A and B are shown apart, each in its own frame.
Chain A
Amino acid sequence: MILKAEKISKEFIREMKNTNRFFAVQETDFILESGSLTVLMGRSGSGKSTLLNMFAGLMLPTSGKILLDNTDMYSLPDKELSEFRNRHIGVIPQGQTALHSLNVLENVCLPYTLGGEDAHEADALALLETLEIAPLQAAMPAELSGGELRRMAIARAFLRKPEIILADEPTSDLDDETTKIVFSFLKHAAQNGSAVFVVTHENDAVQYADRVFRMNAGILEEQ
């Protein structure tokens, strides 16, 4: 599956400031290909997460199109786009994203159980094993550290073996050792055919990347 962005931009309106309009993402083209790991780096507020959210179908671009195998993502009705995201795009959002009424395993199984499907617990447990948090499967999110919660979110994003992985600062709460595990994991997914897009501040991420981009004041540049 190819994710293609054509002349996309994102403009925001700041209601409280004098310069009330600014472009978080300047007009740009971009292709995210299967079987590759793309790393996007840049300073905070440079527009990295905005770009990722547009790719995830969570933020309508101000201009341009995002095509998934030639289908304009934002032309799909919300229900279809949501179903598409559920089945084909694994998103690892910023910060802690656990549902506090569910335990770790249930959180990981959400991509299936949300639509009433079988939980695929065996697959979820295998992912937890790989990310070294399997013993915590029955724990509640409140009992987990920030790093453990992050790994749980990574496992959740991978459960449906999505063709596209969009990760926003996936290693921000992790120690060096676990950061390596996560990047190896993302690299492995790319090698298995997924299109992996990682927004990160980690310089070490470069060594895992097939392509590296830098974002500066909304302008995307390949390194």
Chain B
Amino acid sequence: MKFSKSLPFRNLAGKPVRTTVLILLTALLSLTVFGGTLMIISLKTGLHSLESRLGADIMVVPYEATTKANLENIVLQGATGYFYMDNARYEKIADCDGIGQISAQFFLASASSSCCSVAVQIIGFDPETDFTITPWIQKSYGQELQKFDVVVGNDLNAFVGDTITFYGIDCHVAAKLDKTGTAFDTAVFTNQETIKALIQSSLDLKMNTFQNIDPEKVVSCVMINAAEGYTVEEIVNDINIHVKKVKAIQTKEMISGISDSLAGISDIISILILVVWVLGVVILLLAFTMSVNERKKEFAVLRVIGASRNRLAGIVMQEALLTCLSGSIIGTALGLVIIMPFHQMIEEQLNLPFLLPASGKIIGFVIAAVLVSVLSGCISAAASAFRISRIDTALILRGDN
């Protein structure tokens, strides 16, 4: 028998308004479950990505950087800015106890004038000591960066092979990084040889706010990983006490604000999911109860014709399955349509790192959301199915007269 002629399908088609309402309700349920879960996971993935991209326990910057430039804005929010300190301070930091890994980084902000293709944050690193940037550049570009090679963040409108100009110097785009959902998506990375040349050029063009620096003798920040047997707090205190004019910051503390905001948003979304789920299940339960109650006579007729009690329950469950499956597919599709194309806008609105999980995981969430919604619908219909399977056929048929 054709599916379109099956009794559950015909029952649903025969009541288009009721069926549409049930489908929309399930769609809302799955949209909330899928959309909400994807939001929470994307925010968590974004935070995790940010943590791993920072890649160090401690960041040491010139003391004035914490006040003059908003460090967190540069590192976490993608604002442009730069600051420098003497190499000597790097040496003193390196002499502190408990340093496991240490590497200097160099910042420069390109300008939006004709000297530069784009206004972005340029981050330079020392390939010999770097342990924070190199590992994830390696994933996109397995070779060593040559002079004037740059690697661009995923959100920048530049592609491998392009040439982009900073302070009159043409740089070759060697690689484009994968999406991170963080401020690093709008940054450009290069080795220290290139960035020192760029800093010098910015000085030559009198476009650098620091006029009296020697690029060969300055660094912007120092990234540190604690050695075994030392706590991060100990090292931070040691640096802040013994090295003048610098500020050592635990990277965990830097992202704690983001982490708190994320926890808050996750909680709100989780509560929303729970409330919508509970409401959805209750409304579906009522809807299925009403739908079955108003058709009690029809079920009694089916019983007279020869439907077993299990068959009656099966018809109710099949109707619920068809409704909830259609609704949940619509809901998850809607969730994909809303979140996938607009994730950048959502990221900007939330002002938090937001990274969609890999497609495989998203497919997993789609399947899970459909299953949860279908299961919720079936649970809601189960009571009605059970009750209809226990009907007193004779009593119902007599009740009509």
Contact of B305 among A49, A100, A106, A156 (CB under 8 A): A156
Residue pair B15, A101 in contact (C-beta under 8 Å): yes
- The chain B residues found within 8 Å of chain A, CB to CB, are 1, 5, 7, 10-11, 13-15, 297-298, 300-311, 392-394, 397-398, 400-401
Residue pair A102, B10 in contact (C-beta under 8 Å): yes
Residue numbers in B under 8 Å from A58 (CB-CB) = 303-304, 393-394
Q: Give Cα A97–Cα B302 distance, bound, in whole angstroms.
A: 9
Residue pair B400, A96 in contact (C-beta under 8 Å): yes
Residue pair A97, B394 in contact (C-beta under 8 Å): no
Closest to A56 in B: B304
Q: Separation in Å of the A165 CB from the closest CB of chain B?
A: 13
Closest to A100 in B: B14
Residue pair A101, B10 in contact (C-beta under 8 Å): yes
Contact of B1 among A49, A85, A111, A113 (CB under 8 A): A113
Q: Separation in Å of the B150 CB from the closest CB of chain A?
A: 67
Residue pair B310, A95 in contact (C-beta under 8 Å): no
Contact of B7 among A56, A79, A114, A156 (CB under 8 A): A114
Residue numbers in A under 8 Å from B306 (CB-CB) = 82-83, 85-87, 111, 114-115
Residue numbers in B under 8 Å from A59 (CB-CB) = 392-394
> Can you list the 7 inter-chain pairs with the closest CB atoms, starting with the nearest?
A86-B306, A101-B14, A95-B400, A82-B308, A53-B394, A97-B301, A59-B394
Q: Give Cα A106–Cα B310 distance, bound, in whole angstroms.
A: 22
Closest to A117 in B: B1
Q: Separation in Å of the B4 CB from the closest CB of chain A?
A: 12
Q: Give Cα A102–Cα B401 distance, bound, in whole angstroms.
A: 22
Asked whether A144 is an interface residue with its Cβ less than 8 Å from the other chain, the reply is no
Closest to A91 in B: B304
Q: Give Cα A147–Cα B357 distance, bound, in whole angstroms.
A: 64
Q: Separation in Å of the B320 CB from the closest CB of chain A?
A: 16
Closest to A140 in B: B14
Contact of A100 among B1, B298, B394, B401 (CB under 8 A): B298
Q: Give Cα A100–Cα B296 distance, bound, in whole angstroms.
A: 12
Q: Assuming A93-B397, A97-B304, what are 9 further A-B pairs, CB within 8 angstroms?
A: A79-B310, A85-B306, A93-B300, A94-B397, A96-B400, A113-B5, A114-B7, A114-B305, A114-B306
Q: Give Cα A101–Cα B5 distance, bound, in whole angstroms.
A: 11
Asked whether A116 is an interface residue with its Cβ less than 8 Å from the other chain, the reply is yes
Contact of A78 among B7, B13, B309 (CB under 8 A): B309
Contact with B along A88-127 (1 / 0, CB 8 A): 0001011111111110001000110111110100000000
Residue pair B398, A110 in contact (C-beta under 8 Å): no
Q: Give Cα A52–Cα B264 distance, bound, in whole angstroms.
A: 66
Residue pair B11, A101 in contact (C-beta under 8 Å): yes
Asked whether A36 is an interface residue with its Cβ less than 8 Å from the other chain, the reply is no
Residue numbers in A under 8 Å from B5 (CB-CB) = 106, 113
Residue pair A93, B301 in contact (C-beta under 8 Å): yes
Residue pair A99, B298 in contact (C-beta under 8 Å): yes
Most buried by A among B14, B15, B305, B401: B305
Q: Give Cα A110–Cα B401 distance, bound, in whole angstroms.
A: 23
Residue numbers in A under 8 Å from B1 (CB-CB) = 113, 116-117, 119
Asked whether A38 is an interface residue with its Cβ less than 8 Å from the other chain, the reply is no
Q: Give Cα A87–Cα B305 distance, bound, in whole angstroms.
A: 9
Give 25 A-B contacts (CB < 8 Å), ordered by A residue.
A49-B398, A58-B393, A59-B392, A59-B394, A78-B309, A83-B306, A87-B306, A91-B304, A93-B397, A94-B400, A95-B397, A96-B400, A99-B7, A99-B11, A100-B298, A101-B7, A101-B15, A102-B14, A106-B5, A111-B305, A113-B7, A114-B302, A114-B305, A119-B1, A156-B305
Q: Give Cα A122–Cα B133 distance, bound, in whole angstroms.
A: 78
Residue pair A97, B397 in contact (C-beta under 8 Å): yes
Closest to B9 in A: A101
Q: Give Cα A119–Cα B307 distance, bound, in whole angstroms.
A: 16
Q: Separation in Å of the A141 CB from the closest CB of chain B?
A: 10
Most buried by B among A49, A93, A94: A93
Asked whether A26 is an interface residue with its Cβ less than 8 Å from the other chain, the reply is no
Closest to A113 in B: B1
